[in-house]
Structure 1
Amino acid sequence: MIAAPFHAGERALQAQTGAREQMALVGPRVIRDRMPDQHRQFFAQLPFLVVGSLDAQLQPWASVLSAPPGFAHSPDATHLRVDALPADGDPLAAQLVHGAPLGLLGIEPHTRRRNRMNGTVESLDGTGFMVQVQQSFGNCPRYIQAREPEFVSARHDTAPVQRLDALDLDAQRLIGSADTLFIATAYPEDVAAGDDADATSHGVDVSHRGGRPGFVRVDEDGVLTVPDFNGNRFFNTLGNLLAHPRAGLLFIDHDNGELLHVAATAEIVHEGPELAAFEGAERLLRLRVQHALRRPAALPLRWGDAQLSPHLAGTGQWAAGRR
Structure 2
Amino acid sequence: MSDTSVFHDGELFVQNKLGVTKDVAKFAPRAIRDFMPDQHRLFYQMLPMMIMGALDDQGRPWATAAFGQRGFMHSPDQHTLQIGALPVLHDTLNLQIGAKDKLGFVGIELETRRRNRMNGVVDLVTEHGLTVTVDQSYGNCPQYIQRRDVNLRMLGPDAQTVTQSKQIDANAKQIIEAADTFFIASRTQEIDGDPRSGIDASHRGGHPGFVKVTEKGHLMFPDFSGNQFYNTLGNIAADGRVGLFIPEFDTGRAVFLTGRAEIIWDGPEVDAFMGAERSVMVNPEAIIVAENVLPIKGDLVEPWPLLKNTGHWE
Q: Which TM-score tier does this pair reach, normalised by the shorter chain? A: over 0.9
Aligned pairs for 1:42-81 within 5 A: 42-81=43-82
Per the alignment, residue 200 of structure 2 pairs with 205
Give the aligned length: 312
C-alpha separation in 2, matches of 1:78 and 1:156: 35
How far is the alpha carbon of 1:273 from its aligned partner? 1.9
State the TM-score, normalizing by the size of structure 2. 0.95
C-alpha separation in 2, matches of 1:33 and 1:43: 16
Amino acid at match of 2:123: E
Aligned pairs for 1:138-177 within 5 A: 138-153=139-154, 157-177=158-178
How far is the alpha carbon of 1:266 from its aligned partner? 0.5
Per the alignment, residue 135 of structure 2 pairs with 134
Aligned with residue 259 of structure 1, among 238, 254, 261: 254
Identity %: 42
Per the alignment, residue 180 of structure 1 pairs with 181
C-alpha separation in 1, matches of 2:264 and 2:10: 15
How far is the alpha carbon of 1:94 from its aligned partner? 3.1
Q: Does 1:310 align with 2:305?
A: yes
Amino acid at match of 2:62: W
How far is the alpha carbon of 1:180 from its aligned partner? 0.4
Which structure shows the bigger proportion of residues in strand conformation? 2
Per the alignment, residue 195 of structure 1 pairs with none
Amino acid at match of 2:56: D
Q: Where do 5+ consecutive residues of structure 1 fail to align?
A: 193-197
Q: CA RMSD in A?
A: 1.8
Structure 1 residues 101 and 309, CA gap change in structure 2 (3 angstroms): same
Amino acid at match of 1:270: W
- Preserved CA contact (<8 Å) 1:157 1:298: no
Structure 1 residues 214 and 53, CA gap change in structure 2 (3 angstroms): same
State the TM-score, normalizing by the size of structure 1. 0.92
Partner SS, residue 111 of structure 2: helix
Aligned with residue 291 of structure 1, among 286, 290, 295: 286
Per the alignment, residue 84 of structure 2 pairs with 83
How far is the alpha carbon of 1:305 from its aligned partner? 2.5
C-alpha separation in 1, matches of 2:18 and 2:55: 29
C-alpha separation in 2, matches of 1:154 and 1:69: 17
Q: Does 1:270 align with 2:250?
A: no
CA deviations 1:202-234 (Å, max 9, x no partner) are: 000000000011000111211111000000000
Partner SS, residue 302 of structure 1: strand
Partner SS, residue 226 of structure 2: coil
Q: Where do 5+ consecutive residues of structure 2 fail to align?
A: none
Which structure shows the bigger proportion of residues in helix conformation? 1
CA deviations 1:125-165 (Å, max 9, x no partner) are: 23211000000000111000001211122756443421112
Amino acid at match of 1:18: G
